[in-house]
């Protein structure tokens, strides 16, 4: 199989496409033919942390050095181990490879069917593999941040960094929960972010956002200072940030994909690339200029049929929002 190797060093130039043996699922694993994966800030971070430090972190938080990068994916179950009862060959699935040695920037990946590393859920019929892969990590992170600052229904929520993979999704999930959402992002992203249905979109290059007040402030990029947060919060307000660690919960990921199917959320995609372009994508993400998600198209032509969706409820919901 074709896969990205990251064992030769921490520079993105060392990420190479290699021909590796197709993995064989263990008794508790499923073999997934990956149709789409991603390149995230987390992937870049894991690549740049020295392996001895990662081994220490692995004992504390479950991080491990990854010989193949790529944390989130979508694809189709091709084989399953003898102890796997929940999945059948042909099921469309999405999930993560967190805590596993081999990631999703490959044509195939083996993932435990239970929570001994990574998470795995079914993809609803009305969702493409591309959109599912672009929603996994950002959606779960956004959901957990919002769960910590509840209630948000009927309250004002300000999302700083709303053009990123987490920020664009947490803002939309907050809106689906009944919040009035103001987004803060860069000048070049305001138009695309406004299309996601926020009440207002402010430019962080201008000073006006600093005088805003909100019941809930969410820092989706981990850059706000304590003084800035205090200035933005209404009395008794709540603050959430990506700086606080999150964990992966299968039920939350399933809920995020249901929001995707209903049209309540839409992944913001910066660009779609091939496996051959993963190294360049790592260098691009490291610049901090990424807007939304970078999705990696992995599937061969024989697997593309699984990514065709006839009915797209998301499009109908988007049209309803535009009409109101």
| Residue pLDDT, tens place only, 154-197 | 999 999 999 999 999 999 999 999 999 999 999 999 998 999 98
Which CATH number covers residue 312?
Answer: 3.90.180.10
In a domain, 247, yes or no: no
Same structural domain for residues 155 and 301?
A: no
Of 59, 270, 20, the C-alpha closest to 167 is 270
In a domain, 262, yes or no: no
In a domain, 252, yes or no: no
pLDDT digits (tens, 9 = 90+) for 57-82: 555 555 555 689 999 999 999 999 99
Query: pLDDT-derived band of residue 118, with 50, 70 and 90 as boundaries?
Result: confident
Q: What average pLDDT does range 252-270 have in this prediction? A: 96
Task: Reply yes or no on whether the pLDDT at 55 is more than 90.
Answer: no
* Between 99 and 271, residue with greater pLDDT: 271
Max Cα-Cα span within the chain:
60
* % residues pLDDT > 90 (the chain): 71
Same structural domain for residues 27 and 123?
A: yes
Same structural domain for residues 157 and 206?
A: yes
In a domain, 258, yes or no: no
In a domain, 54, yes or no: yes
* Between 58 and 227, residue with greater pLDDT: 227
In a domain, 257, yes or no: no
Whole-structure pTM value: 0.86
Buried b (16+ CB within 10 A) or exposed e, 96-131: bbbbbebbbbbbbbbbbbeeebbbbbbbbebbbbbb
| Whole-Å CA distances, 18 to 22, 38, 80, 273 | 12, 18, 25, 17
* 215: containing domain: 137-241
Task: Reply yes or no on whether the pLDDT at 10 is more than 80.
Answer: no
Q: How many domains does the chain have?
A: 2
Same structural domain for residues 107 and 166?
A: no
What pLDDT sits at residue 301?
Answer: 42
Which CATH number covers residue 229?
Answer: 3.40.50.720
Same structural domain for residues 69 and 112?
A: yes
Of 212, 247, 219, 248, the C-alpha closest to 233 is 212
What pLDDT sits at residue 306?
Answer: 44
What pLDDT sits at residue 309?
Answer: 46
Same structural domain for residues 11 and 130?
A: yes
Query: pLDDT-derived band of residue 201, with 50, 70 and 90 as boundaries?
Result: very high
Same structural domain for residues 92 and 116?
A: yes
> Of 2-6, 177-181, 238-242, 304-308, which gets the smallest average pLDDT?
304-308
Same structural domain for residues 10 and 130?
A: yes
Task: Reply yes or no on whether the pLDDT at 239 is more than 80.
Answer: yes
Is 278 within 8 Å of 4 (Cβ atoms)? yes
> Mean pLDDT over all residues of the chain?
87
In a domain, 234, yes or no: yes
Last residue of a domain, one of 241, 275, 306: 241
Same structural domain for residues 312 and 208?
A: no
Q: What average pLDDT does range 309-313 have in this prediction? A: 39
Last residue of a domain, one of 197, 223, 241: 241
Same structural domain for residues 107 and 184?
A: no
Same structural domain for residues 147 and 126?
A: no
Same structural domain for residues 79 and 92?
A: yes
In a domain, 246, yes or no: no
Q: Provide the token pair at 41.
A: 């800030």
Q: What average pLDDT does range 225-254 have in this prediction? A: 94
What pLDDT sits at residue 247?
Answer: 86
Is 155 within 8 Å of 182 (Cβ atoms)? no
* Between 307 and 104, residue with greater pLDDT: 104
- Within a 10 A sphere around the Cβ of 238, how many other Cβ atoms? 18
């Amino acid at each position: 199989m074709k896969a990205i190797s990251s064992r030769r060093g921490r520079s993105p130039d060392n990420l190479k496409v290699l021909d590796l043996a197709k993995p064989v699922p263990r008794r508790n694993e499923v073999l997934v033919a990956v149709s789409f994966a991603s390149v995230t800030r987390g992937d870049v971070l894991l690549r740049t942390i020295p392996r001895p430090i990662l081994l220490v972190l692995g004992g504390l938080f479950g991080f491990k050095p990854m010989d193949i990068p790529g944390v989130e994916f979508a694809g189709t179950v091709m084989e399953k181990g003898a102890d796997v009862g929940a999945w059948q060959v042909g099921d469309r699935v999405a999930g993560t490879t967190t805590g596993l040695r081999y990631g999703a920037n490959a044509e195939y990946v083996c993932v435990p069917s239970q929570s001994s590393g990574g998470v795995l859920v079914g993809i609803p019929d009305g969702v493409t593999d591309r959109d599912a892969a672009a929603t996994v990590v950002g959606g779960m992170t956004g959901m957990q941040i919002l769960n910590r600052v509840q209630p948000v229904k009927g309250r004002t929520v300000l999302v700083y960094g709303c053009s990123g993979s987490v920020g664009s999704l947490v803002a939309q999930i907050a809106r689906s929960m009944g919040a009035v959402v103001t987004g803060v992002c860069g000048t070049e992203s305001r138009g695309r972010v406004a299309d996601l249905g926020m009440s207002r979109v402010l430019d962080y290059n201008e000073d006006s956002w600093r005088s805003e007040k909100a019941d809930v402030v969410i820092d989706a990029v981990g850059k706000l200072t304590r003084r800035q947060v205090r200035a933005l919060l209404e009395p008794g307000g709540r603050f959430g940030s990506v700086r606080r660690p999150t964990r992966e919960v299968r039920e939350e990921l399933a809920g995020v994909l249901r929001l995707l199917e209903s049209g309540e959320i839409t992944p913001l995609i910066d660009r779609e690339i091939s496996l051959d372009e993963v190294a360049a994508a790592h260098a691009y993400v490291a610049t901090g200029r990424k807007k939304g998600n970078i999705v990696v198209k992995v599937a061969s032509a024989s697997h593309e049929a699984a990514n065709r969706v006839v009915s797209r409820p998301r499009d109908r919901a988007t049209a309803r929002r535009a009409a109101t």
